[in-house]
Amino acid sequence: MYGVYSNPRDRLISAAGAAILCAVIGYALILGLGVSIPTAIPDALKTFAAGLKPPTATT
């Protein structure tokens, strides 16, 4: 195209801006946007045995 000259400096500035924006969004996601993670698991969420009862021994 005539009259359009790409300047490498402009491309570098745009790439740096995009990298900074991605870094800020990633940092916000990693921090969890202020969500606290509980350290103890409630009793309702602990595992339990959900299988068949063992067969009774008949003699």
Q: Which residue has the higher pLDDT, 6 or 13?
A: 13
Q: What is the mean pLDDT of residues 32-59?
A: 73
Give yes or no for residue 51 having a pLDDT over 70.
yes
Give the span between the Cα atoms of 19 and 28, in whole angstroms.
14
Where exactly are the structural domains of the chain? 8-50
What digits encode the pLDDT tens for the residues 12-45?
999 999 999 999 998 888 887 776 766 776 776 6
Q: Which residue has the higher pLDDT, 43 or 9?
A: 9
Q: How high is the pLDDT of residue 12?
A: 92
Give the span between the Cα atoms of 27 and 31, in whole angstroms.
6
